[in-house]
Every structure is written in structure tokens, then in C-alpha cells.
Amino acid sequence: MNALIHGVLLGGEYALIACGLSLAFGVMRLVNIAHGDLAVCGAYLVVFLGLPVAYALPLVLPIAFGIGWLLNITLFERALKAGDLAPVLVTFGLSVVIQNLLTEGATANPRTLDGGAISLAEVGGVSVLRIIAFAVAVSVLGGLQLGLSYTGFGRRVRATADDVDTARLVGIRVRPLFAAVAGIAVATAALAGVFLGLLGTVDPYTGGLTLIFAFEAVVIGGLGSLWGTLAGGIVIGLTQQLAGLWSVKFAVLAVHLVFLAVLTFRPRGLFA
């Protein structure tokens, strides 16, 4: 029972990391290999600011949004124009750069963010912080999905994701739109990274594994639907926890096996 609850809660965290990846791919066709590292940067930003998490967050989110915006107009935009492989190579390069910068600036030691008194609180054996993380994840994904469905900005994003040439033809300014989407993607990643730091430890190389899980959540959930991404995250969380009951070593492998099975038998995802 406990494993089920933990699995679902963990799934929320994966989904929060994954939603920006899903958004950037769904709208711009950008495969962002550095997404996990950008998430980790969120946690380090809190470390560098030296403020309690609750005070740091209102700064971290806009900074992350700005970083996403800038990365888009300096790097991603150009890479997307240069062919299919270029974005993968460029963001891979960015990933390596981030890992090195973090190691230089903050050493390779694992870090934990201090959540204060609340990090010790529990209800029924479940950490309150985990419940909060899950609630935040569901709110962010739900909010994004509603925003996409019902706002003018969301309509423009959907239209542009559908057909970028036609979007321009009806007057949509694609450049700032993509930059905003990249900003949102990095801001949600940074938020997820802060929770990674609160709930466990991060080091400069945490981003790699984080990316893989996020990527798997997106694929399992099916591209294009953020609810699908949430469901995909939960599938991963549950698989990891349930397999972990049997053997901790087997847990991560089980996730990858489920991912491979989905890719083989339902390549468009379970919930698309």
C-alpha cells in the first residue's frame, strides 16, 4: 500500500520534470538533452542565493524563465534551423557545459536543500513535503493544460505547434512565442529541480538520470498531452516502487523495461 502511494507521489515529481521536455518537443520539436541539467540548476540557484527555499523560489522561477528565453534566442533557435541532429548536439553540449560549470562553481559534492520544519512532518507515514511536491506537480501540469486550452496564448501555442508556417501566415509572431515556451519549460524544470533538492540530493551530474526518467515519462504518456505526461510519470513511479519491493537494484531496470515495452507495443504512448 505504502509503495503504491509512494509510487504515485514519485510519479508527480517525474511528471513535473517531464512537462517542460514535453512542451518544448511538442511545440518546437526541440529535443532538449540539457533539460535535466537545467532542472538541477534550479536547485543550485537556491544554494547560490543562500535564501530559505520559500523566499528563493519567487526569484528562481523568473530567473529560470529568463534563462530559457535567452537560451532559445541564442542557441535553440539556430540549432532548430540547422537540421534534425543539430538540436540534439547543441543541447548535449549545453548539458556538458552546465555539469562542468556546476562542478567548478560548487564542487561535485551532493547537496540537499533545507526545507525547514516541514521536511520532517509526516501524515500516515508519508512525508508532507512529498505530498506538497505532488500537489505542486499536478497544479502545474493542470494549469499548463488549462492555459493551453483556454487562453489566447495557449491557442497561439497550439496553432504554432500544429503548423509553424501557417501560424506566421495568420500573423503569429513565432519568435517570442517559442522563447516564452522555452522559458516556461526551463522554469518548470527549475521548480522540479528545487523539489529534487528538497526530497533527496543533487550533484552536478544528477541531470542525466533525471533526463532519462523525464524522457520515459513523456514517451509512456504519449506526446502532446500533459495529462498523459502526468500518467506516464506515475507509471514510472509505481514501477520503480513496486519493483523496488522485490529488489532495489532491479527497480531502475524495471522502469527502463516498461519504457521499452511501451515503445515496442504502443509507440505513440499509453494515453495518447
Q: Which residues bind other proteins (CB under 8 A)?
A: 152, 155-156, 158-159, 162-163, 165-174
| Nearest Cα to Cα of residue 126 among 136, 138, 134, 115 | 134
Nearer to other proteins, 63 or 179 (CB): 179
| Nearest Cα to Cα of residue 231 among 2, 1, 6, 19 | 19
Nearer to other proteins, 50 or 165 (CB): 165
In whole angstroms, the minimum distance from the beta carbon of 155 to other proteins comes to: 5
What is the chain's alpha carbon radius of gyration, rounded to the nearest angstrom?
Answer: 18
Residues 185, 157: Cα–Cα separation, whole Å: 13
Q: What is the grid cell recorded at 118?
A: 516541514
Nearer to other proteins, 104 or 162 (CB): 162
Nearer to other proteins, 80 or 255 (CB): 80
In whole angstroms, the minimum distance from the beta carbon of 135 to other proteins comes to: 29
Nearer to other proteins, 45 or 157 (CB): 157
- CA dist list (Å): 103 to 133, 153, 260: 27, 38, 33
In whole angstroms, the minimum distance from the beta carbon of 170 to other proteins comes to: 4
Strands (E), 149-205: none
In whole angstroms, the minimum distance from the beta carbon of 77 to other proteins comes to: 13
Q: Output the CA torsion sign for 148, 213, 77, 79.
A: negative
In whole angstroms, the minimum distance from the beta carbon of 63 to other proteins comes to: 29
Residues in the chain: 272
In whole angstroms, the minimum distance from the beta carbon of 162 to other proteins comes to: 5
Q: What is the dihedral of CA 212, 215, 217, 222, to 10 degrees?
A: -160
Give CA angle at 40 (50, 117), nearest 5°. 50
Nearer to other proteins, 73 or 101 (CB): 73
